[in-house]
Structure 1
Amino acid sequence: MTYEFLKGHGTENDFVLLPDHDGTVHGDLSAERVRALCDRRAGIGGDGVLRVIRTAAYAPQWVDQAEWFMDYRNADGSVSEMCGNGVRVFVRHLVDAGLATSPVPVATRAGIKVVTVEGDQITADMGPPRLLGSSEVSVGDRTWSARHVDMGNPHAVVFLAPGETLDPHGPVGPLLDPPVHDTAEYPHGVNVEFVVREGEHHVALRVHERGSGETRSCGTGACAVMVATAEADGAARDTPYAVDVPGGRLTVTWTSADRVLLAGPAVIVARGTASL
């Protein structure tokens, strides 16, 4: 059997999209199948899979609030609650295909996210953050304190000391293996962000995503980093922060209404048929 797929990315955080509008094409979407699709040598390649499915077919509890559900899976096949770059790519496809008009409410495992398209910029209202205390993260023989920020999925935000860099040969290494984290604090795993300051209201990060490894960008991670940084800075609400990721730049704003807005580009780069 062959089926349609698309490939898209948001600041080089890339995804395989599977249109399955009525839930009749891909069944239960097994972890093995997701891993095959995300394989960068034997498959299409991606940091995860976005199944495009109507809420009526997959999550009827959301049917009165959103027509579409983003069924997101990490590259290792595990189910994830939310993906900030993914939901922007998801809406880019819906709008380009004439399946929705902006603003678009999208049902996710972390609730309803409203996404607005303005030309090349796509903004996702990621909802309120939750700041949940501190923990520890280790890479090799180094251990750092981390700020626990939940953006619908868990993040451990680590601020590197002045003079430390994000270079792969520096203290955080190549991040090919998951950083060691506090399993009591994060029983279901955690995304870890290492952060350096680049200037006023401007930070840069590298990220290790649970289930995917190091990625070129992480939307919820950028939000978590901005929230932790703004808290540390005592910044006024509605102050936009530039958040540089290896794949580009995102703009994140924590509003006076306690919402986190994630803005940046999202594009569809390929489409075709597959038989994986």
Structure 2
Amino acid sequence: MSYRFLKGHGTENDFVLLPDPDGTVHGDLSADRVRALCDRRAGIGGDGVLRAVRDGERWFMDYRNADGSLSEMCGNGIRVFARYLIDHEGVSLPLEVDTRDGIKTITSNGDDITVDMGSPEVFTTTKVSVDGVSHEALHVSMGNPHAVTFVDSLDEAGTLLEGPGYDHAVYPDGVNVEFVVRRSARHVAMRVHERGSGETRSCGTGACAVMVAAALADEAPRGTAYRIDVPGGSLEITWTEDDRILMTGPALLVAEGTTDL
């Protein structure tokens, strides 16, 4: 059976999007099919799969990592999801999208898209390791788990593609790990290993977790905007007075077609 797909990215964090309004085409989306779609040599290629399902009055973003595993939330993915709804489903902003991490409100900021990512949860410090070197990291949840560590050089992220070591008791379902360097006041850069996908060009929830860690370290007042550079571009993150994380960045659709993968 052939079916429609679109390809999009947010700061080069790329996704295969599967329209499935009534849930009949992809309701049995298997891990094997997700892996096939995300395969960069034998498939379409992507860091994950977004399935667009109509859920009553709202749309539901069913997100899967490239290895086929489920994920609670994807920050760059939800902007791509919103771009699809705007361009192909006649949806206007502001809009609410349902996710496994609850309902997210999406607005516009010029050509960019802003998402209310909800309230962060900050836990204690933990340890991560790459290439045999251990680093202290702050445990932050943005609906999915993150370990944020500040380093002197992003080279210290080493071979993130191979996967960092972490405390499985703290992160029983895996963890996204961000290595961060400071560029200037309210401006940092990061590399990230996403659980289920490896090192990616960007991670929206990871950028939010990094902003939270940086703002806490800086004792920055609420409402302060941070620029977070990722290999695929930049995101702007603000922690509001009412404890919400607002993420702003681009979202582009770059291809569409049909596939039988």
TM range (shorter): over 0.9
1:17-32 to 2 correspondences below 5 Å:
17-32=17-32
- Determine the C-alpha separation between the residues in 1 that align with 2:201 and 2:236: 16
Q: Secondary structure at the match of 1:94?
A: helix
- Partner residue of 2:67? 76
TM-score computed with the length of structure 1 as normaliser: 0.93
User: Which residue of structure 1 aligns with residue 190 of structure 2?
Assistant: 205
- Equivalent of 1:152 in 136, 143, 146: 143
TM-score (norm: length of structure 2) = 0.98
In the aligned structure 2, how far is the partner of 1:99 from the partner of 1:30?
A: 29
State the Cα distance separating 1:267 from its structure 2 match: 0.5
Give me the CA root mean square deviation: 0.9
Q: Which of 122, 136, 147 pairs up with 1:131? A: 122
SS in 2 for 1:156: strand
In structure 2, list runs of 5 or more residues that go unmatched: none
2:83 is equivalent to residue 92 of structure 1: yes
1:238 aligns with 2:244: no
Aligned counterparts of 2:21 and 2:39: Cα–Cα separation in 1: 24
Inter-partner Cα distance in structure 2 for 1:101 and 1:145: 43
The residue that corresponds to 1:166 in the other structure is 154
Aligned counterparts of 2:227 and 2:84: Cα–Cα separation in 1: 25
Q: What amino acid is the match of 1:183?
A: H
Give 1:4's aligned residue. Answer: 4
**Structure 2: how far apart are the matches of 1:118 and 1:101?**
13
Shift in Å, 1:119: 3.6
1:143-200 Cα deviation digits (max 9, x unpaired)? 011100000000000111xxx3113xxx221312110001111111000000000000
Alpha-carbon distance between aligned partners in 2 of 1:86 and 1:35, rounded to the nearest angstrom: 17
CA distance in 1 between partners of 2:132 and 2:185 (Å): 31
Contact 2:131 2:159 in 1 (8 A): no
Matches within 5 A, 1:35-74: 35-56=35-56, 67-74=58-65
Match of 2:201 among 202, 213, 216: 216
Q: Identity of counterpart residues, as a percentage?
A: 67
Q: Which amino acid aligns with 2:170?
A: E
Where 2:162 maps in the other structure, the secondary structure is coil
Deviation >6 Å, runs of 4+:
none
- What is the match of residue 182 of structure 1? 167
- CA–CA distance in 1 between the matches of 2:181 and 2:187? 9
SS in 1 for 2:23: coil
Q: Encode CA deviations 1:53-107: one digit per residue, 9 max, x unaligned.
A: 0114xxxxxxxxx510000000000000000000000001101114311011000
Q: How many angstroms does 1:117 deviate by?
A: 2.4
Letter in 2 for 1:26: H
Report how many aligned residue pairs link the two structures: 261
Q: State the one-letter code of the partner of 2:154.
A: L
Shift of 1:13: 0.2
Q: Which amino acid aligns with 2:106?
A: V
| Partner in structure 1 of residue 233 of structure 2 | 248
